[in-house]
Structure 1
Amino acid sequence: MKYKAEIFDKVQYLYEKTKFNDHQLHCVIRFNGKLNIPVLKKSVMLLLQVIPILSCVYRHDDGNDYWESVPTPSIDALFHIVYEKDAFEHFTTSKTDAFTGPQILFCLYRTNEKDALSIIMNHMIGDGAGFKQCLYLFSNLYSNLLENSRYVPNFTISGERGFQGIIQQIPFKILIKSMLFHNKESNQDSSLEFPLSKDMDIFPFILTRELDSEKFMQIRTYCKRNQITINDVFLAAYHRALLLEIPEAGNILSLPLMVDMRRYLQDKNFRALTNLSSTSIIHIPIKAEESFDDTVYTIHRMVKNRKHDIGVNGFVKLNMGFKFLSNKSSYKLTKKALRNPPICMTNIGILDDTKLVFSGTEIEDAFICGSIKYRPHFQIAISSFKDTLTISSNLYGSRQDYETIAHFLFLVEKQLPLSNS
């Protein structure tokens, strides 16, 4: 069986070709106990049955691309068990292979007392929100199989993966207004680069900095008191840390906001694993001497003013380009025009602890992060689980880059409205 490659499948494919990122999504789950390995393996195999595209392979034809069903891979190709931390970390920064499949991989890190699970998914078949839906389903399969070894779900996730379902639900007035007033919006608006090395001795790494429950509670209290969002706070902290790291940035920083376009859907149920994300550029005037409150209020107002049509402009333009041109022409034009911002941020949001549940084994902590960037591109991501929040940054970089980014994540945390900062 063949599945048409959708627009963002092709765009994510190009991200590797243009050396923006390696188009992989990563999740690490740490448990306070051990999982049932036979049930875990059954869950992996069942997940591929429920979401058929996970076991497909990608066929590239300069725009006439498609996914093709192949025999379900063996469990040995999907699931690995390691007993060393280095092996686990090596897996976590590895890649799926779109051309040979499968499009998702699992690694269990087994120690004497506690397990950890690393999951990698090809970003070409799903965005961060889709990845979370996939993880929730996987944990649900595990829990059901633990209770009933013969459990088989009576559904498949193989619905429409394209843009049309969203575009049809966006009011026409908003479509027109967005195209008229934000038509010049572009990811190319900023050429500012994060200070990374030129050292050619590089390796992939995922750096994380975790805010414990006390610090996270302080931020949430600050948000509630000031009627702002977690996203506002971290955008402010990110911008202020960038001014410290790059003093020559000036008074206006341009940053693309990542937007989950499912916000425009009335039915948000998991019916297809796909990419439905867009970006919206905001230009934030910041003075180095202003207070954090001033910065966060400026950002809050600017984001709030865009919420009625956020992400629509880029989403619609991309859809129109692929709709009115041939597949090969639209692909060629996209490849030529694709310019990604050197600095960006993504809020992957909450990993819902009421949905990410592996019966019988408590989850201690978990985080999701996006693709590993290629220099000169730089990104931080945030995700939360229960009462902790994780800031992460991923790069194919040098040891010097590793140290630079570790220090920068410290600077971001220092900007946050914490009582001890």
Structure 2
Amino acid sequence: MLNNYYKNYKAEAWDILQYLFKVKKINDHTLHFIAKFSGKLDLERLRKAIDISINVFPLIRCRYNESKRQPCWEEAGYTVSDIIEFIEIQNGKEECIKKYLYQQIDAFNGPQLRIKLIRVKEKDKLCILMSHMLCDAAGFKEYLYMLSNIYSNIKNNQDYQAMTRKNRKVNQILKNLSITEKVKIMFGKVDIFTYNDVKFELEGDINNPFIEIRNINKEKFHMLKAYAKERESTVNDIMLTAYIRVLFQLFGRCVTIPCTVDLRKYIPNHRGEGFCNLCTNLICNIGDETGRTFEETLYKVKKEMNKQKSNIACVKSVAMLEKVFDIFPYKTARGIVEKKFVNPLIAFTNIGIIDEKQLAFDNSDIVEAYMTGSIKYNPYFQLAISTFDNVATLSVNLYGTQSDKNKVNIFLDKFINELQASVY
């Protein structure tokens, strides 16, 4: 229950930046997750688990307020009833699920989390939308793990409470670094504002969001992992290689690809001290030539990404962003960021593994799950990948026309074909 007064929470630098992405029509600020179960969830237990999770992460029941001297999150009395909706349908109409999945979180008229439990013939689908202003994909996964853990534990312990996690600032990374590492960050060069001018020729339609999906099944994903291991590479390297080669086919030139990196890797247990955004971009630039074969491109990608991943200076961009909002008045800081920050026209994000051991709703088996990021506005384009139980899900999200959707499908088919011809 809320107290008889509403509490405010500081909006952190990344919260504000995600808000500005929407203002500048780069992308909306909604993260998406879907899980399909082999049976039914206990609706009342799920409601209680959500209620407990809100107390751990109270920003969920807040709305964003930019009208004050410094923007903040203010509690607005939203409850679990505002968050979860249950519907039962007679057949698995995908349009019903898509219609919900494409909705946006409204920062100014919360809550910042929305859940729909859809029951189709005694089998449940759980659709969860989270404000990207509150957290990145890794933070969203941490929230989902917590929610499922609460759901599992309250079956036998009605008084179960999860541990509160409050620190949402970048200092949770910096405080774990040595003086030498901090010096490297301070004097390091970060090329996060230089991107290609290459772009997909899209029409855009702000009234027509869509998410196009492709799956790489278990058998092929195991083959992909084996291929990567034999070449001392990562699955991420393989995906980037296919991406660069397909873009070369489409545009006739190598495209520099910004890749999202989770900065929690610099925290001892790789877990945030709060649910928040803790990511930045690494830049994969392999030069002007891809090489003739997939393996030649892979060699260049692996070499570049190993160099990028070993450079701790990537922390500098988020540290600088936080400093700007800490030092300058909000209007000045916002003006600096809006002027200086350039978003890539073509990007890549590997959301990574959704851990089936941590995402366990008691005895309710999840048979399929994936996560995808925000939906882009024309002309921005991003390929996202998430993996659950050794099935990889590729997704491209866009506000666009049917012609745009056709182009996205051509791209995804080419991507799958590139893997098929080179890896499997």
Match of 2:243 among 235, 238, 246: 238
Is 2:247 aligned against 1:226? no
Q: For 1:315 and 1:200, how far apart are their aligned partners in 2?
A: 31
Partner Cα separation in structure 2 for residue 17 and residue 201 of structure 1:
13
Q: Which moved more, 1:393-402 or 1:305-314?
A: 305-314
| Partner secondary structure for residue 285 of structure 2 | strand
Q: Deviations over 1:252-274 (max 9, x none)?
A: 42111211111111243453111
CA displacement at 1:361 relative to structure 2? 1.4
Quick one: distance in 2 between partners of 1:181 and 1:77?
43
Change beyond 3 A, Cα 1:27–1:304:
same
Contact 2:152–2:361 under 8 Å retained in 1: yes
1:392 corresponds to which of 387, 392, 395: 395
Distance of 1:272 and 1:384 partners within structure 2 = 23
Percent same amino acid among aligned pairs? Answer: 33
Tell me: CA distance 1:172–1:331, structure 2 relative to 1, closer, same or farther (3 Å). farther
Aligned to 1:73: 79
- Structure 1 segment 275-290 matched on structure 2, within 5 A: 275-285=277-287, 287=289, 290=292
In structure 2, do the counterparts of structure 1 residues 29 and 418 end up closer, same or farther at CA, with 3 Å as the change threshold? farther
After superposition, residues 10-409 of structure 1 pair within 5 angstroms as 10-61=16-67, 64-83=70-89, 84-148=93-157, 150-153=158-161, 155-157=163-165, 159-183=166-190, 185-196=191-202, 198=203, 200=205, 202-247=207-252, 250=253, 252-285=254-287, 287=289, 290-310=292-312, 311-409=314-412
Aligned-pair Cα RMSD in Å = 2.1
Deviation string, structure 1 residues 51-98 (Cα, Å, up to 9, x no partner)? 111111111138710111222325154334252432221111101111
Structure 2 distance, partners of 1:133, 1:177, is: 29
Checking the alignment, whether the CA contact within 8 Å between 1:280 and 1:314 is kept in structure 2 is: no
Aligned residues: 414
Asked if structure 2 preserves the Cα contact closer than 8 Å seen for 1:195 and 1:246, the reply is no
DSSP 3-state at the match of 2:201 = coil
**TM-score, normalised with respect to structure 2:** 0.92
8 A contact 1:80–1:107 mirrored in 2: yes
Deviates most, 207-216 or 409-418: 409-418
CA distances 1:364-387 after superposition (whole Å, capped 9, x unpaired): 010111000000000010010012
**Matches of 2:249 and 2:68 in 1, distance apart?**
43
* Pair 408,82 (structure 1): closer, same or farther in 2 beyond 3 Å: farther
Q: Take 1:226 and 1:282, find their aligned partners in 2: how far apart are those partners?
A: 18
Tell me the CA shift for residue 352 of structure 1.
0.3
Structure 1 residue runs of 5 or longer lacking an equivalent are: none
Report the CA distance between 1:6 and its aligned residue: 0.4
CA distance, structure 2, for counterparts of residue 88 and residue 44 of structure 1: 21
SS for the counterpart of 1:296 is: helix
Residue ranges of structure 2 left out of the alignment (5+ in a row) = 1-6
Q: Is the 8 A contact 2:204 2:399 kept in 1?
A: no
Of the structure 1 ranges 233-242 and 406-415, higher mean CA displacement relative to structure 2 is found in: 406-415
1:178–1:51 CA distance, 2 compared to 1 (3 A): closer
Equivalent residues of 1:41, 1:79 under 8 A apart:
no
TM-score where L is the length of structure 1:
0.93
Aligned AA (1:142): Y
- Following superposition, the deviation at residue 330 of structure 1 comes to 1.1
